Chain A
Amino acid sequence: MTAYIVRRLFQMLPVLLVVTLLVYILLGVVPGDPLVGIVGSEAVSAEDRAALMSKYGFDKPLPVQYGLWLGRVLRGDLGKSTIRSGEPVGQNLLRRAPITLQLGALAFLFALAIALPAGVISATRRNSIWDTAATVVSMAGVALPNFWLGIMLILLFGFIWQVLPPGGYVSPVEHPVVGIKSLLLPALTLAGPLAATSMRQVRSALLEVMAQDYIRTARAKGLAERSVVWVHALKNAMLPVVTVMGLYLGHLIGGAVIVEQVFAIPGVGRMAILAVLNGDVASIQAVVLLVAVSVLMMNLLTDVLYAYLDPRIRYA
């Protein structure tokens, strides 16, 4: 297993390199003053300017510049923001990342909590009214625009029933009850598409597994139907579900960009939008890099989990 993980980590390196190259070319070579991404919005005198230009290598050829930039990024220096009066991008990112992480984790839990039971009910009571209802809801869930779902939830829970705050963020660490309440609606919004897709996966995977011989054996030896479904069938049925949920984690982060904006949550997604609106190149680069690295790591985690669930993959 360790060998497998190490091999996968090495396979990740060229992709990571490509990501940094893309990020650099896309955003680093945009027309404009390159120093802006270094000093932020501070005023710089002409002499300092020349000194800084040579210090950061902006007078050198582009491949060298890329190398220097990569070196700075690897040492954790992500440059300075043009907004917030030149705060280091890294600091801003570190402050915001936990918020997005909380949101994403809660959304993931919601998605699982919806998809598993709904998928199991759909599969075990195939063609029943519950199955049809779940199918319709999941089809709708995939097509619903994330932000619109958020707006409608705000309308219902925030204004009509007034049970949850319509937006804003309170840290659940400092104020557990208020904090969790402030994350419920955004997490539910974010969970929607993921829940819809994985529910379908649970259903079809479970249906396939339930038709196999060992399930018949389990029933024949007199096991309760509940333990046949939830213990014997579900572990094997989880294989494709894990794959899809792993692939979807990226979408979850992408969705966070929008959901954070709708609910005014000061996370990484909001940072990206603020950065784009203000032409804050260093911040956009940092967010894209962070997200790409997290997605790659989560893909790896998915594959490892997959290898754990299905021993055949480890030796392929």
Chain B
Amino acid sequence: MVQKADAALRSEAAEFSRRRQPLTPLRLLSQVFKVRLAGAGLVVVCVFAAVALLANVIDRYDPVKPDYSAPLARPSGRHFFGTDQLGRDIFSRVVHGARVSLGVATGATLLGVAIGVPLGLLSGFRRGWHDDVIMRVMDGLSATPGILLALALVAALGPGAVNVMVALGIVSVPLLSRLVRAGTLAVRETDYMLAATAVGVKTPRLMAVHIMPNVVAPVLVQGSLVMAFAILAEASLSFLGVGIRPPQPTWGIILADGFQFIDSHFWLSLFPGMAIFFLVLGFNFVGDGLRDVLDPRLGRALGLK
């Protein structure tokens, strides 16, 4: 699998330089469209981030405290998104859910980068048995689909926001480390690396100054896609009842609550789902846009799309 990725990377790179075409108006238009989508994605992400930060200001009711006087209310001026079976305001719960969702996803992504990047650097720079061991473990980890691996990890760690975060962080490590490894391998044999080694640059500096800049772009791209994955996965785990536990308002839990009343009160399920959808869409757009701007060949070569 790893060899395949390397080979693909090299042939893609060759093809890319061969295929570079003149910029026609149509191509320019599609570039602008792509960048525009990325811009729209960034706006969506920023709006959600603002909502998450200002949740305490925006919410209209306590997202956790039941209000038995108004259970299962329709959306109205009082309750924008209606209320759930315990009379809790869905709008306020969704607003606070943004905080949990973005918090867990950010933590998971940072953790994945913190583990995956050094592993990939080590693997690609040292080669030899480091590389073999690390990459076989990564192959093993990625043989299990992400959501199932996360489920198993949460089973081992126990439920709760922090454990979900750790589990999703670990799930994202294989992809990130492979990406960094490929980037490291690509520059390892270049003349400027040889020159740097020849003038006596030490390994840590080699990695920080000469290799890191080459892997920052793909990590940034993959990072935004990991965010999208983590948001979906956290919502899924919470929906299944194995992730974050009630009464903490998360989108997955709000959806699970609403699902019980789907035949009569569909709006309970409508709004949290739309929140997940738009935030994930936003991160996908940002990731795609970043990829187009920063490095069009890396992501495609590794089949990350």
Using a CB–CB cutoff of 8 Å, the interface residues on chain A facing chain B are 14-15, 18-19, 21-23, 26-27, 30, 139-140, 142-148, 151-152, 154-155, 158-159, 166, 197, 200, 243-244, 247, 250-251, 253-255, 257-258, 261-262, 272-273, 275-277, 279, 281, 284, 287-288, 291-292, 295-296, 299, 303, 316
Cross-interface CB contact of B269 among A151, A250, A254, cutoff 8 Å = A151
Provide a sorted-by-A list of 12 A–B residue pairs whose CB atoms are within 8 angstroms.
Answer: A19-B144, A21-B140, A22-B137, A27-B155, A142-B284, A166-B263, A197-B305, A254-B147, A257-B147, A261-B240, A275-B155, A291-B144
Which residues of chain A are near B263, meaning CB under 8 Å? 155, 158-159, 166
Q: Do A255 and B281 contact each other (CB < 8 Å), given the known contacts A18-B136, A243-B303, A276-B242?
A: no
Closest A residue, CB atoms, query B137: A18
Which residues of chain B are near A243, meaning CB under 8 Å? 303
Q: Is the CB of B277 within 8 A of A254?
A: no
Q: B228 interface residue, CB < 8 Å from A?
A: yes
Which residues of chain A are near B232, meaning CB under 8 Å? 145
Using a CB–CB cutoff of 8 Å, the interface residues on chain B facing chain A are 1, 4, 7, 136-137, 139-141, 143-149, 151-156, 228, 232, 235-236, 239-242, 255, 259, 262-263, 266, 269, 273, 276-278, 280-281, 284, 303, 305
Q: Do A143 and B259 contact each other (CB < 8 Å), given the known contacts A257-B147, A296-B143?
A: no
Which residues of chain B are near A151, meaning CB under 8 Å? 255, 259, 262, 269, 273
Q: Is the CB of B280 within 8 A of A143?
A: yes
Which residues of chain A are near B139, meaning CB under 8 Å? 15, 18
A151 CA to B268 CA, complexed, in Å:
11
Closest B residue, CB atoms, query A21: B140
Q: Is the CB of A145 within 8 A of B280?
A: yes
A281 CA to B156 CA, complexed, in Å:
9
A200 CA to B305 CA, complexed, in Å:
10
A262 CA to B240 CA, complexed, in Å:
9
Cross-interface CB contact of A30 among B137, B156, B273, B303, cutoff 8 Å = B156
Enumerate the 3 nearest inter-chain pairs by beta-carbon distance, A residue then B residue, closest first.
A254-B145, A18-B140, A148-B273
Q: Do A155 and B266 contact each other (CB < 8 Å), given the known contacts A146-B236, A258-B236, A287-B148?
A: yes
Q: Is the CB of B242 within 8 A of A15?
A: no
Which residues of chain A are near B155, meaning CB under 8 Å? 27, 275-276, 279, 281, 284
A257 CA to B228 CA, complexed, in Å:
19
Q: Is the CB of A257 within 8 A of B148?
A: yes
Q: Is the CB of A147 within 8 A of B136?
A: no
Q: Do A139 and B284 contact each other (CB < 8 Å), given the known contacts A291-B145, A295-B145?
A: yes
Closest B residue, CB atoms, query A279: B155
Which of B155, B262, B303 is most buried by chain A, counting CB atoms within 10 A of its CB? B155
A287 to chain B, nearest CB (A): 7
Which residues of chain B are near A272, meaning CB under 8 Å? 148, 151-152
B41 to chain A, nearest CB (A): 10
A147 CA to B149 CA, complexed, in Å:
18
Q: Is the CB of B152 within 8 A of A26?
A: yes
Q: Do A143 and B281 contact each other (CB < 8 Å), given the known contacts A27-B155, A257-B148?
A: yes
Which residues of chain A are near B241, meaning CB under 8 Å? 273, 277
Which residues of chain A are near B242, meaning CB under 8 Å? 273, 276-277
A276 CA to B145 CA, complexed, in Å:
16
Cross-interface CB contact of A247 among B153, B276, B284, B303, cutoff 8 Å = B303
Q: Is the CB of B143 within 8 A of A159?
A: no
Q: Is the CB of A148 within 8 A of B277?
A: yes
Q: Is the CB of A250 within 8 A of B276?
A: no
Q: Is the CB of A143 within 8 A of B143?
A: no
A140 CA to B277 CA, complexed, in Å:
8
A61 CA to B155 CA, complexed, in Å:
24
Q: Is the CB of B273 within 8 A of A152?
A: yes
Using A15-B143, A143-B281, A273-B241 as known contacts, list a sample of 11 further A-B pairs with CB atoms less than 8 Å apart, ordered by residue number in A.
Answer: A15-B140, A19-B143, A151-B255, A151-B269, A155-B263, A250-B143, A255-B145, A261-B240, A276-B155, A292-B144, A295-B144
Which residues of chain B are near A299, meaning CB under 8 Å? 1
